Structure 1
Amino acid sequence: MENVNVAELVDRLGNDEDAVRKMAVFKLQGNIGDPGNTLAYSLTSFARLLEVDKGWDCVDQELVERIVELIVTHPLVNILRGAMSILVSIVSHPHTPMDPSEPDVFGFRALKPAIAIYPQFLEMLVSRLSSADHALCANALQLINSLMRDSITHDSEAEWPKFIQKLQDLGVIRAVYVLMQDSALQDLAHPLLEFQSLTKVLLRKWRDIPLSQEQPEHRRALKGIHLASNPTKTSDEATENGEDVKRSRRHHPEKWRRLGFETESPATEFYEVGFLGMMDLADYVRSHQNEFQKMLLEQSTKPSRQRCPIAQASLAVTSILYEHFEVDKSEMDDSKNYMIMESRSSLDKLFKPLLLHWTRLHVAGLQAFFRMWKATAAETEDLDKLVELVRILIESVVGGAGRTKDVQDVEEELANYEYHRLRELQMELLELTYEDAWGQHLRQVREELHHEALQFVKEQRIRCLLQGAWFSLESTSKDGTRTKSSCQYVQLSHNRRYLHFGEFDNIGNGAPELDALPEKIDLSTVSSVVSNISTNPDNSSSATVKTAPRSASTKITIHGYAPPSTGTSKGPSHGHGHGRTGSRSTQKEIVLLTLRPATHSIASEWLDGLLMILNQQPITSETNKLIDLVGNYGLKIRLLNVRFDDAAFAGEVPPVPVRDGLDEDYYYDVFGGA
């Protein structure tokens, strides 16, 4: 039947034109004859009255029972909307609980007598969250939110958890999760945001309940965890020498520590996460009992320091999730965010559907901890380091998941995230953290470390020259025939002032002595280095470096000036501009030496070694990558404050090597003499 706007219909009844009035009366009589529309309009009108704080004198147990009956039995959407709106107002109406023996017409208590008559009420209410009508979904969720809030606020500590558990058993979490991922998020934003906030309220409330063995429920939870660990089998294994099994069960010295607690007083270890931590641990033990028992069995064969602390890990994951989802954030902050964020993209950031799957995320995070503990061969003292890695993992995977990403995909990503990727991410985050905190100081540290790395690599490259190397020789005589010599050996002198070289028929068994090399070049006469070696384009602006066109064979050509016939020798050039002095401005460059390296690695070492001994910047990508690598490792070591023995040795630190006749009175000649 056609939907009629009541306000418009009433306006037409007072119209001056007779034809308009007749049509209005005709439609009115038809709608009055339709009990569905009449009831829908009546319910909606009464709901509006309650919203403006009118009509409360008409609210009684009979009305509440009639409204609950409509929600359970009536199929029409427009009737259900109005009925639910009325109940939202009744449940949400400010009130002070009176004597429990007296009936209450406000709050959740007002509905309990009617729900006792129609026990399918809550099930029908949750089922409406799957309706194709978004307005009905919103009304149903608003009513569920009102019931949850009033129950948490006014019911006893023994009652409200049962009500919340019943809603969860009916599938409210899954239904709201689907709505949060739906494309029609904008239509349901207000009630969905309230449900998300109420979820945080529940988590806070559970966290704030201190664990106490005086509480029967808490004792039962601890006992359940102990029994799920299969203590009988463990006790049997612990009595290898014929001890009485029953006595072992009663007085097991590590009853709780073997489960991963730090002490034999487990209740005291829940002080940070309260009963919420107990719920998470108990849920894991219950739903993954076989895995739990298998782990305990495997751990029992290891030394105590190598056993994975299951309980401590579980409490740590609970704490990580609590911080990640900002559970302590007030509902007022969430409401302000909604008022500010009106765009679709902003809503995507505001809603966190994964929060609703807290338990599944806890299990996935805990299993990731177990995996990393095993992969890193961690020990007890490494617990804090592993917890930090899990924190980064959850921040990355859970925090990086979009609103529509399914929880199963998140679980798989947590399970498959590679350890080395996680370590790289940890270093990136660490550098960003220090960048924010230190700013200019960190940049100064980077510059210092880069300079140190440059000096370190410079020394390494120059030492390659000091060690010497063989190079192929392709020289020809004046008549064009190949000379007898096929190779040459080149070596830097110990004082680093001369480059000695000589030609040989073949490569001998060992390197020739420096005195056996007949030729030498005074490095003070070198003007430039020409090479066809591929270079790093970022460093191609060096003034004394020339790069020749690339050819089939790699070569390095050293250019310089003929030695002066008179005058004293000068030291190597320390400036730019080809290393020339004013008196050499008219001299002509000549080829002093050509090197043909056998490999690209040797070519990089010698080209950059020659440049760096002339106080020029290196140009090959290999050398610059090595400088960056050394500098980055230095930065990471400073940021992490890692001791050498921690970084180098996974097990026991090896003994310091000794030699007969060696005492502590020695030193290293780092630079090899000059």
Structure 2
Amino acid sequence: MDNISDLVARLGSDEDSVRKMAVFKLQSAIGDPSFADMFISEGGLPKLRFLCLQATGNTLAYSLTSLSRLLELDMGWDHISQEIIERAVELVVTQPLVNILRGAMSILVAIVSHPHTGASLVGSFGFQALKPAVALYPQFMEMLVARLSSADHALCANSLQLINALMRDAVTNDLEGEWPKFIKKLQDLGVIRAVYMLMQSTAIHDLAHPLLEFQSLTKLMLRKWRDIKVDMETADHRRALRSLYVASSASKSGGDDSTLGSKKAPPDRWRRLGFETESPAWEFENTGFLGMMDLTDFVQKYEDTYQKLLLEQSTKPLQQRCPITRASLAVTSTLYEHFEVDKSDNEDSQRYTLLDSRTNFEKAFKPLLLHWSRLHTAGLNAYLRLWKTTGAEADDFEKVEELVRILVEQVVGEASRTKDIAEVEEELAEFEYQKLRELQMELLELTYEDAWGHHLRQVREELNHEALQFVKEQRIRCLLQGAWFPHSIGYGSENGPVTKANLNRNVPSAWRYVKLSHNRRFLHYADYEGRAEKEPGLDDLNNKIDLSAVSSVVSNVSASPPSTSSSSSTIKTTVPAQTSTKITVHGYIPSSHKDSSVSQGDKEMVLLQLNPQSHTLASEWLDGLLMLLNQQPITADTNKLVNLIGSYGLKIRLLNVRFEDVGLEEPVLPTRDGVDEDYYYDIGGMDAGA
């Protein structure tokens, strides 16, 4: 107690050096509640107040810091008067010293943030308490925003904390509805740009808390604007609607803006602007006044573009016109959902306290949120572009809206903290439609995978099986159709059924024609000196191979073996040693063709060799033969076709089913009951028919 009494006594010393040392020690000790309580009981608060009002230099800086820390302990409020507030505001405007500015701002933050129920000499808290002082120093808000560009990070943090306190008080405690004017004044002074630059700077670690609070306050304002219902009886709302009508050049053809709502107004004046009906107020139900603000902001900034769009749409059939107003409101809703504006305004601060990695830290900040208006404009332009690219019609509105939602998630959602808004606008304007569709299908599969689980896997397995059967039938039909293969003049035992009569014999032929029998049991072929214009019939092919005698197929068509194989598999593939493509069929010679003097047992021999002219023909015949023998295809072309058809069928089914159709309950899946192997596919709809 003696030390505190001595400290209080020295605060009232006539010597500045004594006061400076005393208040220097005070600023460190007064953060202890028990010390602060003793300090007040010893009569130290009036002396501290006097120093805050009269001192200069470091003595003033230490005094302001001590008083702000006392207020943080919720003590000393009975000595906070209008005089103290005016002194703090004056220092913010006129004082160049950083340490003095920090203390002054900290005191103002405490005053603005103090609960309104507290009793004090001020009589009011929040921004109302500052208004008389700000009236004396009108540069206050301008200087406060200017401090955000200071090289001193602590001063930037103090400035932003005070701005946050003023914004929160204005938005939550303004009973007169003047908060939008206050927010607009801050925006006009450049607060958005200043905070945006801080959020992208390397100083973000020092400013994390106030920056996240500003981000939360931005969401709070967006939510508050969204909650304001558009009402035609409200002057501001009616004025905003009138501005849309006037900007559309409707007044040039339908009279001045006094015709709005009168009998002289065109009967389709609102639908022409992209509304669904002639009663536009209800269409803002989901977006509230926020949707109105976004729309009018776009129209005011890009009036010529707006007029050209309306004129362009008016020349199209009614079904093909893009409803610009509805598109604008859809983009507002998309951005609102993307930034999760409805979540608690304290969530960002809570999340910051739990950050445990640099990656999460970076993701916590959403600087692009501060450029809401520019994102809305870019999103609306993207919607219009996609509408035109896809040739959409009125019934496709929600489909284009979904594409825009995916576009925003991809471009805005994946943007790094330091990515500039101009780059994001450029990406939104140039993102390829085809890539967007691919993303849509990937997301669709993931969504239904999560929702349906094993049901979707079952559908996928069924579709893959059906795709394999379809490709099998296609490949076998290639064999049924027949094909010409170039044939070397000199050949040995690898070029056909081997007997003593033809072993090592030169056959003067250049082409071989091969065709599968209708019953799919025999492979017929014959050699010709030239390729005939008319394809030979089965009766003209004097050689045939019983497929039941085929043991394996060897080929250099594919250098990659099947993904799965077993030791008992009869599929053989070899890495090609030359550029020529070969398909060799191995099997067992029927006993009637065997030399009775030679006991060959079950020895495998060459039955047929084919030399396909193209990779496609090689894939068709190699996999056709394998699948005819109930073996798996091995070429990349065939496997790609199977996957493509299976994936295509899955996507068609997903696009034709919505969550609301099944209520997220166990869906009724299509079956193959009653369908045998004799079926065909309609590729357009991927429906199987018997």
Alpha-carbon shift at residue 552 of structure 1 (Å): 2.7
Name 1:547's counterpart in structure 2.
Answer: 573
478-487 or 342-351, which deviates more: 478-487
1:147 aligns with one of 166, 177, 197: 166
Number of residue pairs the alignment of both structures matches: 599
SS at match of 1:331: coil
Name 1:6's counterpart in structure 2.
Answer: 24
Alpha-carbon shift at residue 669 of structure 1 (Å): 8.0
State the one-letter code of the partner of 2:152. D
Q: Taking structure 1 as reference, are residues 10 and 353 closer, same or farther at Cα in structure 2, changes over 3 Å only?
A: closer
Alpha-carbon shift at residue 249 of structure 1 (Å): 8.9
Matched ranges for 1:462-473 at <5 A = 462-473=476-487
2:388 aligns with one of 334, 359, 374: 374
Alpha-carbon shift at residue 157 of structure 1 (Å): 4.7
Alpha-carbon shift at residue 475 of structure 1 (Å): 4.0
Q: Taking structure 1 as reference, are residues 214 and 184 closer, same or farther at Cα in structure 2, changes over 3 Å only?
A: same
Name 1:116's counterpart in structure 2.
Answer: 135
1:42 aligns with one of 60, 63, 83: 63
State the one-letter code of the partner of 1:379. E
Name 1:274's counterpart in structure 2.
Answer: 288
Rounded to whole Å, the distance in 1 between the matches of 2:297 and 2:575 is 70
388-397 or 444-453, which deviates more: 444-453
Contact persistence 2:287–2:332 (CA under 8 A): yes
Name 1:422's counterpart in structure 2.
Answer: 436
Contact persistence 2:559–2:575 (CA under 8 A): no
Name 1:345's counterpart in structure 2.
Answer: 359
Rounded to whole Å, the distance in 2 between the matches of 1:251 and 1:598 is 73
Matched ranges for 1:12-23 at <5 A = none
448-457 or 475-484, which deviates more: 475-484
Matched ranges for 1:383-398 at <5 A = 383-398=397-412
Are 1:486 and 2:510 an aligned pair? yes
Alpha-carbon shift at residue 169 of structure 1 (Å): 0.3
Alpha-carbon shift at residue 114 of structure 1 (Å): 1.1
Name 1:321's counterpart in structure 2.
Answer: 335
226-235 or 442-451, which deviates more: 226-235
Matched ranges for 1:630-645 at <5 A = 630-641=645-656
* 1:22-81 deviation digits (Å, cap 9, x = unpaired): xxxxxxxxx999930111111111111111122211111122112111111111111111
Alpha-carbon shift at residue 390 of structure 1 (Å): 0.4
Are 1:137 and 2:156 an aligned pair? yes
Rounded to whole Å, the distance in 2 between the matches of 1:96 and 1:476 is 108
* Identity level (%): 64
State the one-letter code of the partner of 2:466. E
Q: Taking structure 1 as reference, are residues 546 and 345 closer, same or farther at Cα in structure 2, changes over 3 Å only?
A: closer
Q: Taking structure 1 as reference, are residues 669 and 348 closer, same or farther at Cα in structure 2, changes over 3 Å only?
A: closer
Alpha-carbon shift at residue 537 of structure 1 (Å): 3.3
2:101 aligns with one of 80, 84, 87: 80
* 1:467-493 deviation digits (Å, cap 9, x = unpaired): 000011114387988533211111000
Alpha-carbon shift at residue 6 of structure 1 (Å): 2.5
Contact persistence 2:64–2:104 (CA under 8 A): yes
Name 2:553's counterpart in structure 1.
Answer: 529
Alpha-carbon shift at residue 448 of structure 1 (Å): 1.1
Rounded to whole Å, the distance in 1 between the matches of 2:85 and 2:652 is 69
Are 1:447 and 2:447 an aligned pair? no
Rounded to whole Å, the distance in 2 between the matches of 1:10 and 1:227 is 63
Runs of 4+ in 1 over 6 A off after TM superposition: 2-5, 8-11, 31-34, 245-249, 477-481
Contact persistence 2:275–2:323 (CA under 8 A): yes
Name 2:74's counterpart in structure 1.
Answer: 53
SS at match of 1:537: coil
Structure 1 gap ranges (5+): 12-30, 237-244, 567-583, 644-667
Name 1:177's counterpart in structure 2.
Answer: 196
102-111 or 416-425, which deviates more: 102-111
Contact persistence 1:61–1:105 (CA under 8 A): no
Contact persistence 1:306–1:378 (CA under 8 A): yes
Name 1:89's counterpart in structure 2.
Answer: 110
* 1:152-172 deviation digits (Å, cap 9, x = unpaired): 122235311100100000001
TM-score by length of 2: 0.82
Contact persistence 1:461–1:608 (CA under 8 A): yes
Are 1:217 and 2:236 an aligned pair? yes
State the one-letter code of the partner of 1:544. T
* 1:499-540 deviation digits (Å, cap 9, x = unpaired): 111111211112111111111111111111111112443447
State the one-letter code of the partner of 1:153. T
SS at match of 1:485: coil
314-323 or 105-114, which deviates more: 105-114
Are 1:231 and 2:231 an aligned pair? no
State the one-letter code of the partner of 1:563. P
Q: RMSD value over aligned CA atoms? A: 2.9
State the one-letter code of the partner of 2:274. G
Name 1:190's counterpart in structure 2.
Answer: 209
584-593 or 105-114, which deviates more: 584-593
Are 1:559 and 2:586 an aligned pair? yes
Structure 2 gap ranges (5+): 1-16, 30-50, 492-501, 594-598, 659-677, 682-690
Name 2:90's counterpart in structure 1.
Answer: 69
State the one-letter code of the partner of 1:291. T
State the one-letter code of the partner of 1:525. A
Contact persistence 2:582–2:610 (CA under 8 A): yes
Contact persistence 2:114–2:125 (CA under 8 A): yes
Alpha-carbon shift at residue 586 of structure 1 (Å): 3.5
Contact persistence 2:81–2:122 (CA under 8 A): no
Contact persistence 1:210–1:271 (CA under 8 A): yes
State the one-letter code of the partner of 1:612. M
Name 2:496's counterpart in structure 1.
Answer: none
Alpha-carbon shift at residue 589 of structure 1 (Å): 1.6
2:644 aligns with one of 603, 617, 629: 629
Contact persistence 1:197–1:334 (CA under 8 A): yes
